[in-house]
Structure formats: structure tokens, C-alpha cells
């Protein structure tokens, strides 16, 4: 038991130490951050946060990130819950093929190779100058959320469907009135992971906003803090900006924490 606690404590230290260093570094001067000689700042420069907020245009970029993350989360949940319901409860031709295609997108990753065809597709749709192009591409990468929800669907007894059919429900009203309320913990957890992935996405927003900097998301805007006047690295501002960008994710986690705990408790009970 002692070894277990020592192991868990070590994991906690390795996990939290970089975050603590980043938070403390955000209050240092650029020279202190570059030297890295001390953990705590000599003088606590709270002005770093105000300067980072102003230089990175945080108000605009935060709104762009919130829009992309919320739209991606809502769209992904809508598509994946309906797809998982149809696959688990319905019978249709090509069902196994569809599941196989979903699985292949998880295990075959070609990264930046697909950026050009994705961009060309958005150009053809007229969405290359809009954040909707980024949202649609992020929604299309929903295989992980799909399989997460499939697991929860299998835990919902089909007897509830049959009882609902007897009461006059059809295939669609069962999904809306019976399945979705029972899936709230799973939806909360899926929303948390989807929002996090969309919030941290960098390469897609960077590619789609190169011609329109006003559409940049927070992750792209943070990179603008790296260099100041004279191309001098301003690492303290990047750290301050990174700490600010963490706050929305903490808020989302606080709202989704109840669903996450319900899911964990349910799986342990089962």
C-alpha cells in the first residue's frame, strides 16, 4: 500500500510540476525565465498578464476559440449520439462496413498530409475564409467519441425501448425521450474531451487563418507572443498567455466534473 501511495505521489509531482513552473514563470522577467536559475520569481510581475492580454488580442482570439470549441462540441455530440444509436439499435445494410470505416480513422493517422485536400475541399465549399471550415473538419474526426458512446449504449437495456414502443413511441422519439436523458453522464464526458481537443487544436486554425489574422484562435494567437520588438523572445508573455488560456478549460471541467464522476462511479459499480 505504501508503494502505491509513493507511486501515485510521484505521478502527481511529475504531472503538476510543469504547470507550477509555467505559472511561476509567468510572473518572472524574461531574463529570469531564460536563465532558469530560480523557481520563484524575484519580483512578481503581474503586469505580464495585462501585457499578454493586450499584445495577443485575447478578447477576440478567445471568442474565436470559444466559437470553434462550442460549435465542434455541439456538432460532434449531435452526430455521434445519433450514429451510435442507429448502429446499436438499428439494422441496416452496410452497418459493419460503417463501423469498420470509423475504426480505421482512429488507427490510420496521416497527419498533415490531409491538410491540403481538406483545405481544397473547404475552398470548393466556400468555407476557406471562415471558421466554419475548421469546425466541419474537427466534427468529421469524431470516431473516438462515437466508440465512447457505443460502449454506453450497450449498457442501456433494450427493454426500455420495447416499453417505449408499447407506449406509442417510435424509433426517433425513443432516442430523444429515453436514450438521451440516460446518456447525460456519457455526453458530459464526451463533451469534455471534444471541447478540450478543439480548444487545443493549432495546425487547422493556423492554416485556415493565415490570410485573415482576425479569425485566429487562442492557440494561434499565443504564438504571436513569442517574439517582441527586435525579434527578442518574450517567453514570460507566452507563459502568461498560456496560463490565461487554461482558465476556460478549467471552467468546462468544473461543469463536466459531475458527469465524469457519475460515469466513473457507474463503471466501478458495474
Range 234-252 average pLDDT: 80
d(CA 12, CA 37): 23
pTM exceeding the 0.85 threshold for the entire prediction: no
| Alpha-carbon distances, residue 65 vs 106, 196, 245 (angstroms) | 25, 11, 10
Burial class for 179, CB neighbours closer than 10 Å (0-12, 13-18, 19+)? buried
Beta-carbon contacts of residue 190 (< 8 Å; ≥ 6 apart): 76, 77, 80, 145, 148, 149
Helix axes 184-200, 143-153, angle to 10 degrees: 170
d(CA 109, CA 35): 38
Range 15-23 average pLDDT: 85
Beta bridge partners, 233, equal 227
When pLDDT is cut at 50, 70 and 90, the band that residue 261 belongs to is: low
Q: Taking CA 238 as the corner, what is the angle to CA 220 and CA 133, rounded to the nearest 5 degrees?
A: 10
The 8-class DSSP code of residue 57 comes to T
Predicted local distance difference test score (pLDDT) of residue 79: 92
Tens digit of each residue's pLDDT (9 = 90 or more) over 25-38: 888 887 778 777 77
Closest CA to 72 of 61, 62, 82, 80: 80
Range 144-172 average pLDDT: 85
Q: How many CB atoms lie within 10 A of CB 164?
A: 18
| Alpha-carbon distances, residue 248 vs 75, 195, 228 (angstroms) | 19, 10, 26
Structural domains in the chain, CATH included, are 19-56+225-270 (no CATH), 66-224 (1.10.3720.10)
Q: How many CB atoms lie within 10 A of CB 79?
A: 15
Amino acid at each position: 500500500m505504501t508503494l502505491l501511495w509513493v507511486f501515485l505521489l510521484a505521478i502527481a509531482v511529475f504531472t503538476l510540476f510543469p504547470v507550477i513552473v509555467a505559472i511561476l514563470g509567468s510572473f518572472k522577467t524574461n531574463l529570469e525565465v531564460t536563465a532558469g536559475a530560480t523557481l520563484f520569481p524575484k519580483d512578481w510581475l503581474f503586469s505580464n498578464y495585462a501585457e499578454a492580454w493586450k499584445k495577443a488580442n485575447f478578447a477576440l482570439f478567445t471568442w474565436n476559440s470559444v466559437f470553434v470549441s462550442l460549435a465542434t462540441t455541439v456538432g460532434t455530440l449531435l452526430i455521434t449520439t445519433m450514429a451510435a444509436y442507429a448502429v446499436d439499435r438499428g439494422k441496416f445494410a452496410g452497418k459493419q462496413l460503417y463501423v469498420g470505416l470509423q475504426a480505421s480513422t482512429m488507427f490510420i493517422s496521416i497527419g498533415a498530409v490531409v491538410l491540403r485536400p481538406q483545405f481544397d475541399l473547404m475552398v470548393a465549399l466556400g468555407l476557406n475564409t471562415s471558421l466554419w471550415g475548421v469546425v466541419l473538419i474537427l466534427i468529421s474526426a469524431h470516431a473516438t467519441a462515437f466508440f465512447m458512446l457505443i460502449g454506453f449504449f450497450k449498457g442501456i437495456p433494450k427493454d426500455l425501448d420495447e416499453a417505449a414502443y408499447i407506449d406509442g413511441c417510435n424509433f426517433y422519439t425513443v432516442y430523444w425521450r429515453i436514450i438521451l436523458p440516460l446518456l447525460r453522464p456519457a455526453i458530459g464526458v464526451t463533451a469534455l474531451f471534444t471541447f478540450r481537443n478543439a480548444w487545443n487544436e493549432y495546425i487547422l486554425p493556423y492554416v485556415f487563418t493565415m490570410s485573415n489574422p482576425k479569425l485566429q484562435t487562442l492557440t494561434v494567437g499565443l504564438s504571436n507572443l513569442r517574439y517582441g520588438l527586435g525579434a527578442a523572445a518574450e517567453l514570460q508573455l507566452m507563459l502568461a498567455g498560456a496560463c490565461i488560456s487554461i482558465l476556460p478549460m478549467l471552467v468546462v471541467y468544473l461543469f463536466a466534473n459531475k458527469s465524469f464522476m457519475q460515469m466513473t462511479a457507474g463503471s466501478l459499480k458495474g
